Chain A
Amino acid sequence: MAIPNPVERTMERRDGTIIAVDNLSRQFGDFTAVKGISFTVKEGEIFGFLGPNGAGKSTTIKMMCTLLKPTAGHIQVAGYDVDTAPDEVRTAIGIVFQDNSLDSGLTALENLRFHCMMYHIPRDERTVRIEAVLTLMDLTEFKDRLVKTFSGGMRRRLEIARGLLHEPRLLILDEPTVGLDPQTRSYIWQYVRQLRERRGTAIFMTTHYMEEAENCDRIAVIDKGEIVALDTPVELKKLVGADRIELTTSDPEATRAALVSQYGLPVTLDGNRVLFQVAGSERFVPQMLTAFAGMTPPIPIETLNVRRPTLEDVFLKLTGRTIREEEGAKDERRLSLRRRGRL
């Protein structure tokens, strides 16, 4: 019988799994921060961890990137066990921490070069790779500026750029857009999506912003250390019902007749307003509009309003609380901390 080698490492799993978490727990004294969670993330997937602060998101991330040992359970990243092959795990992942981890006394370029040295990126590839990540994150023209002169959004981009230098197969983003203005946030998301498209990098991220979680392929809703739901945003939202559509028209009766005959939907009329519910309005509405325009006579739609269920509704349904009830104060504190770090 073969005796297992203590330094045995399993290779990447063939089914394209980048993260496999099995029954993972972490205790701090009496407090259990993470309670036996299990999930897998596929190669190239954008996977979100959604939950309020203190739900166990950052604890899970720390364990994933080998900075904290699990109390129980296993994590494999890119086929390596965090416990037995921490260095391989570290090489396989790029991390963007919740709070700044750049050296603001160095230039962007110097921060990147430092990273190259820490990750032993082959010397002859360094210049090319640095150029590439700077281009990807639109920072080339700022590369020689001290990071302390950077805005919050530029810092975030630089951190993402740095996290990509060693070409990790998985990028971990811990609350990547906290404290950024909405415009910068949407830029960051553009970059992240671009990254997945161009490099096929899988992304694991935590957030407590509902709008942000929408960008994920799949979301695990985590509350008090447990995963209470795990699915695509669309499926999760189905938990709380269909999209509500409200349109106004000069001919409500004809509209109702058409909706009933064409789609068999129950429709309510309220003056010139037509109200109904439908699942998957993003496909339904364009199709309906085309159909209405092609009718004789065409049905004239004046306004159209879709109220889609949000992840906020999902969270409320799953936990009985809104995610924001618990946020405010803590966000403020973190913002002020971050501002201090910017000095």
Chain B
Amino acid sequence: MAESAFPRLGIQQKSQRSRAIDPEVIYGIWLRDLKKFWRERSRLWGGIARPILWLLILGSSLKGAISASSLSGGIDYQQYIFPGVIGLTLVFSALQSATSIIWDREFGFLKEVLAAPVSRMSIIIGKAVGGASQSTLQGAITMLFAPLIGLWLSPASIVALLVMMFVVSFALTALGVVIASKMTSFEGFGTISNFVVMPMYFLSGAIYPTASAPALIKPLILINPLSYGVDALRQITVGVGAFPFAFDVAFLIVFSLIMLAIALPLFNKE
């Protein structure tokens, strides 16, 4: 056996490798993201501006043009797109939080995290939980618009909605983490917004029923996590949906796990 010239002392020590899922690291990263979110409250305006634009302006204008009968269950158009607008808020906010990784890389803070004795998986989960929390807060702001369109949510459905928003945002932030680890500069959010956020939004059934979509784009709708997210949110808010609720939830969870699995090796390369 080739022996290295390198001197070694053979005293063995027990492994103290960092835990793959480390609650304190996840909490630390989450806490930092939330603090910064709170300090940059300007981002909250997005949570207010988007529902005004989509729900109140576009929704009320299109309401007359779209007959209630063309929507499943004959519901009001504004109420129909309400969960879709929440979905838009979530996808915007989730991807925005995830792209903070690009900023952290550019401004050096990521090195502090990567040089620490923590597992990469915990860092990624911390980021995803942080992004999901911020998005849920934004989504909660959008949720406050419900009474304006005549939608009265029971306390139980509000709780269910918040939980669901978190699940959807987690999946979307995990996707954002994958995108952010592939991106080397932050010229980026405009690009992400044009090529990821808006297509995901329009291909999710957020503002029109996907049943009427051309066959060509059906596959895109079916692989889009936001389709299932909006569908689940819609089942909670107005009680109609295109897929079984359990399937929506299962899809989002599996999607999240796949994204985390893809992000891990990308992060290891940093």
Which positions in A face B, CB cutoff 8 Å?
5, 7-11, 13-14, 20, 22-23, 65-67, 74, 76, 79, 86-88, 90-91, 95, 97, 99-106, 110, 114-115, 117-120, 162, 341
Of the listed residues B10, B11, B31, the one surrounded by the most CB atoms of chain A closer than 10 A to its CB is B11
Q: Once the chains bind, are A11 and B11 in contact (CB under 8 Å)?
A: yes
A104 CB, min distance to chain B CBs, angstroms: 7
The residue that A100 contacts in the complex, of B5, B27, B39, B108, with Cβ under 8 A, is B108
* Residue of A whose beta carbon sits closest to that of B110: A101
Q: Once the chains bind, are A341 and B117 in contact (CB under 8 Å)?
A: no
Q: Once the chains bind, are A118 and B13 in contact (CB under 8 Å)?
A: no
A154 CB, min distance to chain B CBs, angstroms: 16
Q: Once the chains bind, are A106 and B36 in contact (CB under 8 Å)?
A: yes
A306 CB, min distance to chain B CBs, angstroms: 41
Enumerate chain B residues within 8 angstroms of A7, measured Cβ to Cβ. Answer: 15, 17
Q: Tell me if B215 counts as interface (CB < 8 A to partner A).
A: no
When A22-B5, A110-B35, A118-B28 are in contact, do A95 and B115 touch as well, CB less than 8 Å? Answer: yes
The residue that B111 contacts in the complex, of A13, A79, A97, with Cβ under 8 A, is A97
The residue that A115 contacts in the complex, of B7, B15, B17, B112, with Cβ under 8 A, is B112
Q: Once the chains bind, are B112 and A101 in contact (CB under 8 Å)?
A: yes
When A106-B36, A120-B24 are in contact, do A22 and B115 touch as well, CB less than 8 Å? Answer: no
Q: Tell me if B247 counts as interface (CB < 8 A to partner A).
A: no
A122 CB, min distance to chain B CBs, angstroms: 11
Enumerate chain A residues within 8 angstroms of B116, measured Cβ to Cβ. Answer: 90, 115, 118-119
Q: Once the chains bind, are A87 and B117 in contact (CB under 8 Å)?
A: yes
Main secondary structure of the interface of B (DSSP, over half): loop
Enumerate chain B residues within 8 angstroms of A65, measured Cβ to Cβ. Answer: 115
When A88-B16, A118-B28, A120-B24 are in contact, do A10 and B115 touch as well, CB less than 8 Å? Answer: no
Q: Tell me if B243 counts as interface (CB < 8 A to partner A).
A: no
Q: Tell me if B154 counts as interface (CB < 8 A to partner A).
A: no
Give residues 106-153 of B contacting A (CB, 8 Å).
107-118
* Residue of A whose beta carbon sits closest to that of B5: A22
Q: Once the chains bind, are B107 and A67 in contact (CB under 8 Å)?
A: no
Enumerate chain B residues within 8 angstroms of A10, measured Cβ to Cβ. Answer: 8-11
Beyond A74-B4, A88-B117, list 9 extra A-B contacts (CB 8 Å). Answer: A10-B10, A23-B5, A76-B6, A100-B108, A101-B108, A103-B32, A105-B40, A114-B112, A118-B116
- The digit string for B234-264, where 1 denotes a CB below 8 A from any CB of A, is 0000000000000000000000000000000
Instruction: Give A65 to B108 CA distance when docked, in angstroms.
Output: 15
A340 CB, min distance to chain B CBs, angstroms: 9
Q: Tell me if B25 counts as interface (CB < 8 A to partner A).
A: yes
The residue that B109 contacts in the complex, of A11, A102, A119, with Cβ under 8 A, is A102
Number of A-B contacts (CB under 8 A): 98
Q: Tell me if B191 counts as interface (CB < 8 A to partner A).
A: no
Enumerate chain B residues within 8 angstroms of A119, measured Cβ to Cβ. Answer: 116-117
Q: Once the chains bind, are A117 and B108 in contact (CB under 8 Å)?
A: no
Instruction: Give A117 to B71 CA distance when docked, in angstroms.
Output: 51
The 3 closest A-B pairs by CB, nearest first: A117-B28, A118-B116, A90-B117
A46 CB, min distance to chain B CBs, angstroms: 21
Instruction: Give A7 to B16 CA distance when docked, in angstroms.
Output: 10
Instruction: Give A22 to B8 CA distance when docked, in angstroms.
Output: 12
When A14-B9, A23-B5, A87-B16 are in contact, do A118 and B107 touch as well, CB less than 8 Å? Answer: no
Enumerate chain A residues within 8 angstroms of B117, measured Cβ to Cβ. Answer: 86-88, 90-91, 118-120
The residue that A117 contacts in the complex, of B4, B17, B24, B111, with Cβ under 8 A, is B24
Q: Once the chains bind, are B6 and A100 in contact (CB under 8 Å)?
A: no
B83 CB, min distance to chain A CBs, angstroms: 33
Enumerate chain A residues within 8 angstroms of B109, measured Cβ to Cβ. Answer: 101-103
Q: Tell me if B42 counts as interface (CB < 8 A to partner A).
A: no
Enumerate chain B residues within 8 angstroms of A118, measured Cβ to Cβ. Answer: 25, 28, 112-113, 116-118
Q: Tell me if B72 counts as interface (CB < 8 A to partner A).
A: no
* Residue of B whose beta carbon sits closest to that of A40: B7
Q: Once the chains bind, are A11 and B9 in contact (CB under 8 Å)?
A: yes
Instruction: Give A86 to B18 CA distance when docked, in angstroms.
Output: 10
Instruction: Give A8 to B11 CA distance when docked, in angstroms.
Output: 8
Instruction: Give A341 to B103 CA distance when docked, in angstroms.
Output: 10
Enumerate chain A residues within 8 angstroms of B7, measured Cβ to Cβ. Answer: 13, 20
A61 CB, min distance to chain B CBs, angstroms: 10
Give residues 73-115 of B contacting A (CB, 8 Å).
104, 107-115
Enumerate chain B residues within 8 angstroms of A103, measured Cβ to Cβ. Answer: 32, 36, 104, 109, 112
Q: Tell me if B12 counts as interface (CB < 8 A to partner A).
A: yes
Of the listed residues B13, B24, B31, B112, the one surrounded by the most CB atoms of chain A closer than 10 A to its CB is B112
Enumerate chain B residues within 8 angstroms of A162, measured Cβ to Cβ. Answer: 112
Instruction: Give A79 to B9 CA distance when docked, in angstroms.
Output: 8
Q: Once the chains bind, are B108 and A22 in contact (CB under 8 Å)?
A: no
Instruction: Give A118 to B15 CA distance when docked, in angstroms.
Output: 18
Enumerate chain B residues within 8 angstroms of A91, measured Cβ to Cβ. Answer: 117
Q: Once the chains bind, are A99 and B11 in contact (CB under 8 Å)?
A: no
Instruction: Give A22 to B27 CA distance when docked, in angstroms.
Output: 39
Enumerate chain A residues within 8 angstroms of B270, measured Cβ to Cβ. Answer: 67
Enumerate chain B residues within 8 angstroms of A11, measured Cβ to Cβ. Answer: 9, 11, 13
Q: Once the chains bind, are A117 and B8 in contact (CB under 8 Å)?
A: no
Q: Once the chains bind, are A100 and B32 in contact (CB under 8 Å)?
A: no
9 pairs of residues in contact across A and B, judged by CB atoms under 8 Å: A10-B9, A20-B7, A22-B4, A65-B115, A67-B114, A90-B115, A91-B117, A103-B36, A114-B28
Enumerate chain A residues within 8 angstroms of B108, measured Cβ to Cβ. Answer: 97, 99-102, 341
Q: Once the chains bind, are A74 and B6 in contact (CB under 8 Å)?
A: yes
B5 CB, min distance to chain A CBs, angstroms: 6
* Residue of B whose beta carbon sits closest to that of A343: B107
B22 CB, min distance to chain A CBs, angstroms: 8
Q: Once the chains bind, are A104 and B107 in contact (CB under 8 Å)?
A: yes
